[in-house]
Amino acid sequence: MRGAGSRRGPMKALQNQDPPTWLHNLMTFESADGAVSEDSRQFTSARGRTILVAQARWLLLLVFALYGLAAAVTFASSRYGLFVDTAQIVTLLVAVVTVFGYNTLCHFYYPVISRLRYVDHLQILFDLILVTLLVHYSGGAASWFWPVYLVVSIEAAVLLERRRQVLAMGSLGSLLYGGLLLAEYHGWVASVAMPFVDPILHSDGLYLGLSWFWVCVLNATVALISAFLMRIIRRENQAHRESEQRLVSFLDTANDLIFCVREDGSFIYTNRSWQQTLGYDSESLPQLKLQDIVQQDDKSRCISAFNNLLDGNSGGAIEGKMTARDGRAVNVEGSMTCSRQEDGERLVWGICRDITERKRAQDQLYHLAHHDALTGLPNRTNFIERLQQELAMAKRIGREVAVLFLDLDRFKMINDTLGHDSGDALLVEVAARLKKLLRETDAVGRLGGDEFAIVLGNLNCSADAERVAEKILKILAEPLQVNEHELFITTSIGVSHFPAHHNSPEELVKKADIAMYSAKAQGRNNFKVYNRAMDFDSERRMILETGIRRALERDEFRIHYQPKVDASTGEVTSLEALLRWQHPDLGLLPPADFISLAEETGLIFSIGEWVLRQVCHQVREWADLGLGDVRVAVNLSGYQLQQQNLVGQISQALEDAGVSPECLELEVTETVVMQNPDFAVAILRQLKELGICISIDDFGTGYSSLSHLRRFSINTLKIDKSFVQEVERNATDAAITQAIIAMGKSLDLKIVAEGVETEGQLEFLRGHDCHEIQGYLFSQPVAVDKVTEILRNGLDLKSLQAAT
C-alpha cells in the first residue's frame, strides 16, 4: 500500500472518491426491514434501479406540489381567481395518493412486490395513466403537463434493460396522449377549461394532430436516446462494479491486515483478516480509533509516525502491538501511506501482517538461549549479563554487590536413587524457594546440574549477603515433598563480594565457587566467604583431584583405627575404621580432604569396597591372633548407600574374609539417611537382617524425628562432637546431649559420644549414663600395629589415657 496514491485502475478509483461514500455504496444499503443488502444500490440490479426511480418520483412529487401550491396562490390573487373545480381537486388528490402509495411499495417493499412478474412494466404503466389523467385535468391539448411523458420514457429506460421495451413504453405514452386528444376532439370526454386557452383549440383537428405528432416525435427520441445512454451507463457501471468488487475481494481475501483511517484515526475500512485477527466487526468500527487499539508502549511512536505521514513525509516500516477486542496483544509489522482525496481530506492506509507467532517463537528461542529449560531461571550466560549490569550500577552509586554460589549436597544420590524425574522435580522446587526468598532486584540463575548462583545488588555492607546465605540454608533445610517422597536437602554456599574480591563478573563467580568448595570441605550445609587463602585450597584441590584417580592403584590409602571405650569400665568395646590418604607430596591426608572429591568423581564406590574388604581381613587377622571377635565400625558414604548391589557386596566381603556379620558395624550420617528416609529404611533393614550393627553418625545435626528413628533399623546413636565439645560451657548443647541420651535409651539404642577431649566432658557423659566414649581424651586414630597392641594388652581407662 506504500505506493497506492500513484497507482492506476481500481486502486486509483477507490482513492479518488470519498471513502465513506464508495464503501457505503459498495457494501451497504438499508431496506424497509432494516436489513443491509450488498446489491441494493447497484445500478445493474432491478432493485437498485427501482429505488433510484422511486427517489426521483419523490423529488418530482415535491416539485409538482411546490409548483402547484405556488400556481394556486398566484391565480387566487389574480383577476382569474382560483378556477380549479372539485373534480380537478379530487383527481389531483387521488393521483397524489396513488403515486405515494405505489412509490412507497417500490421504494421500501420491493422484495415483496418483486414477486409480480411485470412489476417494472406495471409501475411505468401507472405513471403513464396518471400523467394522462393529469394532462386531461390540466387542459388537455393546451396542458403544460405533457412533457412528463418524456420523464416517464426516461424512467422506462432506467427500469427496463431492453431497448424494444423502452420504445414500447414510450409509444404507449404517445398513444395514451393521442387517445386523450381524440376523445376530447369528438366530445367523448369533456375538455377542461383553462385560463389563457381558447376553447376552440380542443376542436381544431390540425392543432391536435400537430401536438400529438410533436409529442410522439419527442417521446420516441427521448426513449431512443435514454435507452442508448442507459445501456452505456449500465455497461460502465457493471464494469466499475466488477472492478470494485474485485478490489474489495482482493482486500478482503488478503492474508495481510489492511485498514484505512481518517486524519483523526477513526476507521473507515478494515478487511476480513484485520477483523478476524483483532476481533472487531464492522459495527464497532465507527466508535473505534487507531490510537485506541495501539498498546501503551507503542502509542507515542505510532502517533509520531502517523503525524509524519500526514505532514507529507514518506511512510516507513512499522512494528508494534495492537490490542484485540478480547484483550490479546497482537504483534504486527508493515507499512503505512497517506493519500489526499479530491475534497482535500487525507487518508492513511496501512498494510501489516500478524507476527505474533513469529515473535512468540523468537521470544521462546531467546528464552531458551538465556534460561534454563527445567527451572526457567537464567542460565550462565544470562546470569553473567545480569551480574555485569549490577556491577555497572554499583560502580555508579558506590554500593556493594555479592555473588552466592550454591551446590546441593549429595544431589547425585537423589538422581541415582529415585531417578532423574525426582531429581528434576527437586531442582524445580529449590529454584522456586530461592526465587521466593530473594528481592525482585536480585537475580538467581542455574549454572548447570545442581549448581545455582545468586547476585545480590545494592548492598549496604558485606554482612547483608551473609544474612541472605543463612536464610537460604534455613529455607532449603525444610522438607520437600517430591513424587510422594519426603526429602531433605542441604546446600553449600560460597560468597564473593564486589569490589573487595574482584570487579569482573566471571572472576566473582569463580571466587564464589572456590568458597563453595571450602564450605563443602567444612562438612557441607554451611556457607563460606571467599578469602585469598582459598586460592591455595583450590590449587590443592586440583592436585588431589588429579592424584585420587591413581591412589588405589598405587596403594596410597591407609586405614587407621580409633577405639570406642565403655564409659563406666574404660574397656575398649569396638573400633572405628578411618580412611587416610598417604599422598606422595602432601603427606597423610584426613578423609575430609578427599572424600567429597571421591564422591564427585565416582571413585567412592571402589574406595568404599576396598575399605570394607580391608577391614574384614583385618578383623580375621585379629581373630587369628587370638584377640577375639573385634567389632569395627566402617563409615558408609551416602553414595554407597544407594548402590543396588550394596548388600551383596558387603555379604561377599564378610564371606571372603570368613568374618561374622556381628563384627561389622556400618556408620551412616544422619543427613544421609534423612535425605531420602523411605529408601534408607529399606536398605538399613536388609543390612540389619544380615546381623550387621547399624549406627547413626553425627546425630543431632540433621532432621531426624522420633517417628523417623523408630522406622530405621539401627542399633546405635552417635552424638555429634559439636554438642559434646560445649557441654561444659553451653547449657543448650548440654541439654541437647542429655535429650539425645534419654531419647536413645527410650528407643533401646546404644549411645556413643564422639569428640570427647576433656575430663569434664567425660564426667558429664558418665553422669548421664552415656554408654560409650570416643575421642582424643583416650586415643587418636592410630595405625594397625598400635591398635593391635591396645587390643592385646586390654588397657583400662587410666592406662589408655596414659598411652595416649
Q: What is the pLDDT of residue 704?
A: 55
Better-predicted residue by pLDDT, 294 or 24: 294
- All CATH 3.30.70.270 domain ranges in the chain, comma separated: 371-531
Better-predicted residue by pLDDT, 481 or 618: 618
Question: Quick one: fold of 371-531?
Answer: Alpha-Beta Plaits (3.30.70)
**What rounded mean pLDDT belongs to the chain?**
84
Q: What is the pLDDT of residue 33?
A: 39
Q: What is the pLDDT of residue 529?
A: 94
Q: Decide: pTM greater than 0.85.
A: no
Over pLDDT 70: what percentage of the chain? Answer: 91
**pLDDT value at 563 more than 70:** yes
The region that residue 397 occupies, defined by phi over 0 for left and psi between -120 and 50 for alpha, beta otherwise, is alpha
Q: What is the pLDDT of residue 17?
A: 37
Read off the pLDDT of residues 151-178 as tens digits, 9 standing for 90 and up. Answer: 999 999 888 888 899 999 989 999 999 9
Average pLDDT over every residue of 393-406: 91
Alpha-helical runs (H) found in 316-461: 356-370, 380-397, 411-418, 420-437
Q: What is the pLDDT of residue 316?
A: 65
Cβ burial, residue 197 (10 Å; 0-12/13-18/19+): middle
Question: Quick one: fold of 252-361?
Answer: Beta-Lactamase (3.30.450)
Q: What is the pLDDT of residue 182?
A: 92
Q: What is the pLDDT of residue 705?
A: 54
Q: What is the pLDDT of residue 9?
A: 35
- All CATH 3.20.20.450 domain ranges in the chain, comma separated: 546-803
Q: How far is CA 22 from the centre of its chain?
A: 42
Read off the pLDDT of residues 227-258 as tens digits, 9 standing for 90 and up. Answer: 898 888 888 888 887 887 888 788 888 888 88
- All CATH 3.30.450.20 domain ranges in the chain, comma separated: 252-361
Read off the pLDDT of residues 359-373 as tens digits, 9 standing for 90 and up. Answer: 888 888 888 888 898
Read off the pLDDT of residues 414-460 as tens digits, 9 standing for 90 and up. Answer: 777 778 888 899 999 999 999 999 988 899 999 988 999 999 998 88
Better-predicted residue by pLDDT, 653 or 599: 653
Average pLDDT over every residue of 34-60: 70
Q: How far is the C-alpha of 11 from the C-alpha of 248, rounded, in Å? A: 10
Q: What is the pLDDT of residue 654?
A: 93
Q: How far is the C-alpha of 783 from the C-alpha of 577, rounded, in Å? A: 10
CATH class held by domain 546-803:
alpha beta
Q: How far is the C-alpha of 18 from the C-alpha of 29, rounded, in Å? A: 17
The cell for 256 is 495481510
Q: What is the pLDDT of residue 46?
A: 81
* pLDDT grade for 29, boundaries at 50, 70 and 90: very low
Q: What is the DSSP code (8-state) at residue 94?
A: H
Better-predicted residue by pLDDT, 626 or 43: 626
| Lowest-confidence segment of 44-53, 608-617, 622-631, 743-752 by average pLDDT | 44-53
Average pLDDT over every residue of 55-60: 89
Q: How far is the C-alpha of 211 from the C-alpha of 197, rounded, in Å? A: 15
* pLDDT grade for 71, boundaries at 50, 70 and 90: confident
Backbone angles phi, psi at 661, to 5 degrees: -60, -25
Average pLDDT over every residue of 463-488: 88
Q: What is the pLDDT of residue 89?
A: 81
Read off the pLDDT of residues 108-121 as tens digits, 9 standing for 90 and up. Answer: 888 888 888 888 88
* pLDDT grade for 706, boundaries at 50, 70 and 90: low
Backbone angles phi, psi at 569, to 5 degrees: -100, -20
Q: What is the DSSP code (8-state) at residue 782?
A: B
| Lowest-confidence segment of 130-139, 282-291, 461-470, 531-540 by average pLDDT | 531-540
Q: What is the pLDDT of residue 708?
A: 61
* pLDDT grade for 32, boundaries at 50, 70 and 90: very low
Taking CA atoms, 761 is separated from 166, 237, 727, 753, 804, in Å, by 130, 113, 7, 10, 17
Taking the CB of residue 503, how many other CB atoms lie within 10 A of it?
13
* pLDDT grade for 473, boundaries at 50, 70 and 90: very high
The cell for 752 is 556413643
Taking CA atoms, 370 is separated from 146, 187, 704, 758, in Å, by 90, 107, 40, 56
Report whether 451 contacts 444 (CB < 8 A): no
Q: What is the pLDDT of residue 619?
A: 95
Average pLDDT over every residue of 299-306: 83
Taking the CB of residue 199, how many other CB atoms lie within 10 A of it?
10
Q: How far is CA 289 from the centre of its chain?
A: 27
- Written as one string, the DSSP assignment of 609-638 is HHHHHHHHHHHHHHHHTT-----EEEE--H
Report whether 423 contacts 414 (CB < 8 A): yes
**pLDDT value at 94 more than 60:** yes
